[in-house]
Structure 1
Amino acid sequence: MKYAILGDVHANLEALTSVLKDAEEQGVTHYACTGDVVGYNADPKACLKILRSLDCKMVQGNHDYYAACNESMELFTPMAQKSIRWTRKQLSALDRKGLRQLPLILDIENFTIVHSSLSNPHRWNYIFKRKAADANFRNQFNQVCFFGHTHMPLAFIKGTAIDKGFYKTIRIKPGFHYLVNVGSVGQPRDRNPKAAYVIYDLDRQTITMRRVEYDIPATQKKIRAAGLPFRNALRLANGR
């Protein structure tokens, strides 16, 4: 059994379709998403529809949450606020209800997915450092947990201590716990503009990072045509 674990799709249809094509070629059988299907880019409805058609298991991200409600957005940058206000207008009442009903944490097979952290997931904390990873591990009961939010494909491995680093392939070993950021499909921020996702092979117990090229100019053109913040388009080419 192979799971494609996607994260931070952010309404980027070109990136999502390229990732799904790659996943199919790699023999993926199931799909999961660590949240933020919407926000920033120009195809929120289409991305939601595709993931639902795949029976993709999803958790709620902060952009999903705020796009689905009418709460104020003081913690967001002006650019992100504008993007969310635009996204709200694109979604149907049914779309927004579906996003509101997504769980913050979900156990699937023998692993867990969350958008931010298992430690107070509703606060949308970022995990960059070992201290934040340790707070997550204290709440992690499955051996493997996948998360998103930072758009950075970074892994933390807890044995006698917590190690962290970028990765290409991780082999799951007894006695260790793994906290793996799957990177971002729709808005990578690790200076690599290629869409990122991981494949978790449950039979071989391996986690593999995949990077996929997609039509960035087409996504940028849609962003500009929609009247979304111009920087949303510019940053895609630089992966930051």
Structure 2
Amino acid sequence: MKFAIFGDIHANLEALQTVLWDAQEQGCANYVCLGDIVGYAANPVECLETVRQMGCPVVRGNHDEGAASDSTLDELNPLAQAALLWTRQQLNDDQRQWLRELKLVRQVRDFTIVHSTLDSPGAWGYVTNRFDAMASFSYQFTQVCFYGHTHVPRIFEKDDSVRAARGNDVTLQRGVKYFVNVGSVGQPRDGDWRAAYAIYDVQAQTISIRRLEYDIQTAQDKIRAAGLPSLLAERLALGK
């Protein structure tokens, strides 16, 4: 049994389609979405409907919440604000309601999923180092938890101590917990522009993060054609 774990799509349809095609080629029969389906890029409706029609477990991200509400977006940077204000105009009431009803934390089979942190999932904190991870491990009651939000793939391990794993592939060990960031489908920020997602092989007890090239030029052209800030298109190629 293989799970494709993906998130931070950010309305990048070309990247999402590439990830879903690759997951099928890799033999994944199960899919899980870690949120932030919308925001930044130019296909929020298509990405939302793709994920919704899959019927897979999904948790809410901060951009999903921002797009679904009518609240001010003062806590976000100007690029994120501009994209979400535009996104609100693209989504219909039913789509925004679907985003509002997504849970912040879910358990899927024997693992947990969350967009940001387990200790305070609605505060949208970032887990970027082992000290950040410690707080979430205190609330983790399954061996594995998958998260997103930082757009940087990273695996933290906890037994007698908390540490960052070497590399982005791991074989699960008895007595060790794992807090796994699967990276971003639509807007990576680790200097690598390729789409990222993870495969959790339940039988083999392995987690592997994959990177895929996609039609980035089309995604950039769509952002510009929509009248969104050009920097949103430019940053895709930089992986930032």
Runs of 5+ unmatched residues, structure 1: none
* Pairwise CA distance, 1:167: 2.5
Kindly indicate whether the alpha-carbon contact (under 8 Å) linking 1:11 and 1:186 is maintained by their aligned counterparts in 2. yes
Inter-partner Cα distance in structure 2 for 1:125 and 1:115: 10
Q: Give the corresponding residue for 2:205.
A: 205
Q: Give the corresponding residue for 1:59.
A: 59
Q: TM-score, normalization: structure 1?
A: 0.98
Q: Give the corresponding residue for 2:86.
A: 86
Runs of 5+ unmatched residues, structure 2: none
* Pairwise CA distance, 1:7: 1.1
Q: Over residues 88-147 of structure 1, what are the superposed CA-to-partner deviations in whole Å (9 max), with x where a residue is unaligned?
A: 000010000000000000100000000000011110000012221000000000100000
Q: Give the corresponding residue for 1:76.
A: 76
Other structure's SS at 1:57 match: coil
Inter-partner Cα distance in structure 1 for 2:172 and 2:52: 29
What letter is aligned with 1:118? Answer: L
Inter-partner Cα distance in structure 1 for 2:169 and 2:182: 12
Report sequence identity in percent: 51
* Pairwise CA distance, 1:20: 0.6
Kindly indicate whether the alpha-carbon contact (under 8 Å) linking 2:153 and 2:168 is maintained by their aligned counterparts in 1. no
2:138 is equivalent to residue 153 of structure 1? no
Inter-partner Cα distance in structure 2 for 1:94 and 1:53: 14
2:40 is equivalent to residue 24 of structure 1? no
Inter-partner Cα distance in structure 2 for 1:60 and 1:160: 31
Number of equivalences? 240
Other structure's SS at 1:167 match: coil
Kindly indicate whether the alpha-carbon contact (under 8 Å) linking 1:171 and 1:205 is maintained by their aligned counterparts in 2. yes
Inter-partner Cα distance in structure 1 for 2:226 and 2:59: 27
Q: Give the corresponding residue for 2:11.
A: 11
Other structure's SS at 2:152 match: coil
Other structure's SS at 2:133 match: helix
Inter-partner Cα distance in structure 1 for 2:146 and 2:167: 14
Structure 1 residues 117-156: aligned runs within 5 Å = 117-156=117-156
Kindly indicate whether the alpha-carbon contact (under 8 Å) linking 1:153 and 1:167 is maintained by their aligned counterparts in 2. no
Q: Give the corresponding residue for 1:38.
A: 38
Structure 1 residues 187-206: aligned runs within 5 Å = 187-206=187-206
Inter-partner Cα distance in structure 1 for 2:175 and 2:211: 29
* Pairwise CA distance, 1:165: 4.2
2:163 is equivalent to residue 163 of structure 1? yes
Inter-partner Cα distance in structure 2 for 1:22 and 1:138: 34
Q: Give the corresponding residue for 1:175.
A: 175
Q: Give the corresponding residue for 1:103.
A: 103
Kindly indicate whether the alpha-carbon contact (under 8 Å) linking 1:143 and 1:178 is maintained by their aligned counterparts in 2. yes
Kindly indicate whether the alpha-carbon contact (under 8 Å) linking 2:154 and 2:168 is maintained by their aligned counterparts in 1. no
* Pairwise CA distance, 1:53: 2.0
Inter-partner Cα distance in structure 1 for 2:206 and 2:165: 16
Inter-partner Cα distance in structure 2 for 1:89 and 1:54: 24
Q: Over residues 191-229 of structure 1, what are the superposed CA-to-partner deviations in whole Å (9 max), with x where a residue is unaligned?
A: 111000000011111101111110001000000000111
* Pairwise CA distance, 1:163: 1.0
What letter is aligned with 1:228? Answer: L
Kindly indicate whether the alpha-carbon contact (under 8 Å) linking 2:11 and 2:40 is maintained by their aligned counterparts in 1. yes
Inter-partner Cα distance in structure 2 for 1:121 and 1:50: 25
Q: TM-score, normalization: structure 2?
A: 0.98
What letter is aligned with 1:207? Answer: I
